[in-house]
Amino acid sequence: MKIIAVIPARYASTRFPAKLMQDLGGKTVILRTYEAALETKLFDDVFVVTDSDLIYNEILSNGGKAIMSIKEHESGSDRIAEAVENMDVDVVINVQGDEPFINKKPLEQVIEIFRNDTDKKVDLASLMFEIKDKSEIENPNNVKVIVDQQGFALYFSRSVIPYPREENVGVRYMKHIGIYAFRKEALMDFYRLPMLALEASEKLEQLRYLEYGKRIRMVETEHGSIGIDTLEDLEKARKLV
């Protein structure tokens, strides 16, 4: 099984423009993320795929591998799909470009799903962890997920799901972490299929997979992600390097 990591890297972030090219302890955020993915030694190859000459040259000039997007893309999945369309790979891991402190354990967890999936019932694997604070649960920036008894995703939402009509019934609220592992076939199907109403409404690309009947196996982890979405996040990150 050939497994690669692809890091989609868009220069014009809405909340924090050019964040991937910000200095983080003497290296850019995107270079640190790329090097962290390599250092896990989990992948047969690691690529950055970008729409930016600056990011492309940053990776190449430091001995890395980068791919320039040909088209404009609305989602990370679309950007990755274009990059891997003609590659001979089985599983593609989407590593977020703004997460330079990659934890190896959760990546191992999603890879293990595919190693054990001999019947090929899983199209995607992704991560979730429990949140208990009411403000965290109600925050629309935290995407929540509910799963069935086998751990397959039923729905993702920015809203509170499930709605607490009855309290004290043992419901756990799970936050989705945006690390994805795709079978290449599922990723290419996503790329060729149009966006439908649920994805358009929630602005969550994972809903396109569910709307077209793909199966997303969720894995519970204790390792939350440390992403850089704001200037404040960057300042915190600078204290960790």
pLDDT at residue number 224: 64
Cβ neighbours of residue 109 closer than 8 Å, sequence gap 6 or more: 127, 219, 221
Work out the average pLDDT over 122-146. 94
- Under DSSP, is residue 231 helix (H, G, I), strand (E, B) or coil? helix
β-strand partners of 6: 47, 94
**Residue 98 scores a pLDDT above 70:** yes
pLDDT tens, position by position, 172-199: 999 998 789 999 999 999 999 999 999 9
> Domains in the chain, please, with CATH?
1-98 (3.90.550.10), 103-224 (3.90.550.10)
DSSP symbol at 144: E
Q: Assign 163 a pLDDT band (cuts: 50, 70, 90).
A: very high
Q: State the Cα angle at 178 between 175 and 184, rounded to 5°.
A: 135
pLDDT tens, position by position, 39-53: 999 999 999 999 899
**Proportion of the chain above pLDDT 70, given as a percent:** 98
| DSSP tally for the chain: helices H, then strands E | 9, 11
pLDDT tens, position by position, 205-241: 999 999 999 999 999 998 766 778 788 888 888 888 7
Structure tokens at 12: 């014009």
Q: Assign 56 a pLDDT band (cuts: 50, 70, 90).
A: very high
Structure tokens at 167: 């309290």
pLDDT tens, position by position, 104-119: 898 999 999 999 998 9
pLDDT at residue number 225: 64
How far is the first Cα of the chain from the last one, in angstroms, to the nearest whole number? 34
